[in-house]
Amino acid sequence: MAKTIAERSDIIPVLAEIFREHGFEGASLSVITEKTGLGKGSLYHFFPGGKAEMAQAVLTEIDSWFEEKIYRPLREAEDPASAIRSTCRAVADYFNSGRRICLVGAFALDNVRDRFASQINGYFASWITALSSALQRLGHNVEAAMTLAEEAVIAVQGALVIARALNDSALFERAMTRIEKQLTN
């Protein structure tokens, strides 16, 4: 019956969705086996460290996605204004207009924060720094760029919280539109 089907990298997006839906503690191994279709044996084959290693892998994948699609374009694009615009759209798409939560933000509010502190910290620090870099090249001074970037990332995370609380994806879209305008006006 056993087949060499799964690869570690195939499972990670599924794990990400599971953690988003159930949280870290709520994602029991039985849920994980059910949704991935993998038994505990396979799971522990790929992730000897258990749930903690699975979550680490998910956070790492999220970080590299953002690095490639958001942070790097913001830092390196020769046209910072259009980079800001297109990464705002990419963020809105990534979070499916507020219907999908930010796993890193959710972990930050959860009691697992300390366990994944450095990844959580790095995620938001990189985001703010990259955005600030684009804003500086857009003409803002260091301080103003930092403030604007901080405000924008705060607004994205806040909008995710409120959109989910009110079950209102239009609210998230409104917020993203305001953020984009505020950054590129």
Partner DNA sequence: AACAGAGTTTACCGATAGGTACAATTTGGA
Partner DNA sequence: TCCAAATTGTACCTATCGGTAAACTCTGTT
Which residues contact its own copies by CB under 8 A? Answer: 21-23, 25-26, 101, 104-106, 108-111, 113, 117, 120-121, 123-125, 147, 150-151, 153-162, 164-167, 171, 174-175, 178
Question: How far apart are CB 103 and DNA at their closest, in Å?
Answer: 16
Question: How far apart are CB 31 and DNA at their closest, in Å?
Answer: 6
Q: Which is nearer to DNA, 48 or 143 (CB)?
A: 48
SS (H, E, C) the chain: CCCCCCCHHHHHHHHHHHHHHHHHHHCCHHHHHHHHCCCHHHHHHHCCCCHHHHHHHHHHHHHHHHHHHHHHHHHHCCCHHHHHHHHHHHHHHHCHHHCCCCHHHHHHHCCCHHHHHHHHHHHHHHHHHHHHHHHHHCCCCHHHHHHHHHHHHHHHHHHHHHHHHHCCHHHHHHHHHHHHHHHHC
By CB under 7 A, what part of segment 24-43 binds DNA? 25, 27-31, 38-42
Stretch (H or E) spanning 47: none
Q: Which is nearer to DNA, 42 or 86 (CB)?
A: 42
Residue 165 touching DNA (CB under 7 A): no
The first and second tokens of residue 49, run together, are 């460290």
| Residue 38 binding partner per list DNA, its own copies, none, with a CB distance cut-off of 5 to 8 Å that depends on partner kind | DNA
By CB under 7 A, what part of segment 100-139 binds DNA? none
Question: How far apart are CB 121 and its own copies at their closest, in Å?
Answer: 6
Interacting residues toward DNA by CB under 7 A: 1-7, 25, 27-31, 38-42, 44-46, 48, 50-52
